[in-house]
């Protein structure tokens, strides 16, 4: 299971929110590159970079930070937040993103998001399926759509999607543990038969990670990766412990 730390950006600074509420913003570091370099020095290879300004503005905003981190580290970055147009995508990939995550766009403009999958390939496009009470949320979690989570994921699997990031919004930033049952449900419901083998969706768990002991449980369920945010910043999970875990894989 891949360990993927998160850096969320507002006004060029590394922040965390609780349940997606911008009023709960807490600044952890004013230099996101410094944070990214700390992750890389601990043996981490991946980064989940979220443009919260972009999510609010509905277009890419913090691409310069993406470009800086991509040019100064070897981290493989998935980038999301406010990606709505083909131009946004070109800017994101041109600034060094390895993958992009589309959430609201996948609900509100199915044609464009499907075209992205076809144009860039399923290994480059991640479906952001963030939910509250198993209903997909959009617009930086400020709106709840009518989309049911499991059919939403399954419909995009039919369009070729392989990677899904799912955040249970009720858990996000609360340090109360992830939604094990929900992730297990998604993986079981989203297995695709390839020959004689059931091939599950590549699910990346996000939201609520609070202790190191939760990581092996997520791996056992079958999560392909897990995004860790506040637990790192609050030192609930020390980087050294993550480094040892990565080395043991």
Does residue 209 contact residue 237 with C-beta atoms inside 8 Å? yes
Q: Can you read off the two tokens belonging to residue 193?
A: 């038969």
Residue-wise pLDDT tens digits, 24-43: 899 999 999 999 999 999 99
Residue-wise pLDDT tens digits, 47-60: 999 999 998 898 99
pLDDT band at 234 (very low <50, low <70, confident <90, very high): very high
Report yes or no on whether pTM surpasses 0.95: no
Query: Annotated catalytic sites, by residue?
Result: 8, 130
Spatial CA neighbour of 228 closest among 57, 19, 46: 46
**Does the pLDDT at position 229 exceed 70?**
yes
Superfamily designation of domain 2-248: Aldolase class I (3.20.20.70)
Q: Are strands 163-167 and 202-206 parallel, antiparallel or unpaired?
A: parallel
**Does the pLDDT at position 173 exceed 80?**
no
Determine what percent of the chain is predicted with pLDDT higher than 90: 75
Return the CA Rg of the chain. Answer: 17
**Does the pLDDT at position 45 exceed 80?**
yes
- Specify the pLDDT at position 198: 64
Least confident of 10-24, 28-42, 206-220: 10-24
Long-range (24+ apart) CB contacts under 8 A made by 230-237 are 230/16, 230/173, 230/175, 231/175, 232/5, 233/16, 233/28, 234/175, 236/175, 236/210, 236/211, 237/209, 237/211, 237/212
């Amino acid at each position: 299971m891949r360990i993927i730390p998160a850096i969320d950006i507002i006004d060029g600074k590394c922040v965390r929110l609780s349940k997606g509420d911008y009023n709960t913003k807490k600044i952890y570091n004013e230099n996101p590159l410094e944070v990214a370099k700390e992750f890389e020095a601990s043996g981490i290879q991946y980064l989940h970079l979220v443009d919260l300004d972009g999510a609010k503005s509905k277009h890419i905003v913090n691409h310069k930070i993406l470009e800086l981190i991509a040019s100064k580290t070897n981290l493989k970055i998935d980038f999301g937040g406010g990606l709505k147009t083909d131009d946004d995508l070109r800017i994101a990939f041109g600034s060094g993103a390895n993958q992009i995550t589309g959430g609201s766009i996948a609900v509100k403009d199915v044609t464009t998001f499907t075209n992205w999958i076809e144009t860039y390939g399923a290994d480059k496009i991640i479906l952001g399926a963030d939910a509250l009470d198993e209903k997909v949320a959009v617009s930086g979690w400020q709106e709840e759509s009518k989309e049911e989570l499991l059919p939403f994921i399954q419909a995009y699997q039919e369009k070729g999607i392989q990677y899904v990031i799912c955040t249970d919004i009720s858990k996000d930033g609360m340090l109360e543990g992830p939604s094990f049952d929900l992730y297990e449900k998604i993986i079981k419901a989203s297995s695709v038969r390839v020959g004689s083998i059931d091939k599950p969706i590549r699910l990346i768990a996000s939201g609520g990670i609070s202790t190191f002991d939760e990581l092996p449980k997520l791996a056992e369920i079958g999560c392909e990766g897990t995004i860790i945010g506040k637990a790192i910043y609050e030192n609930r999970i020390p980087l050294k412990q993550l480094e040892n875990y990565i080395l043991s894989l």
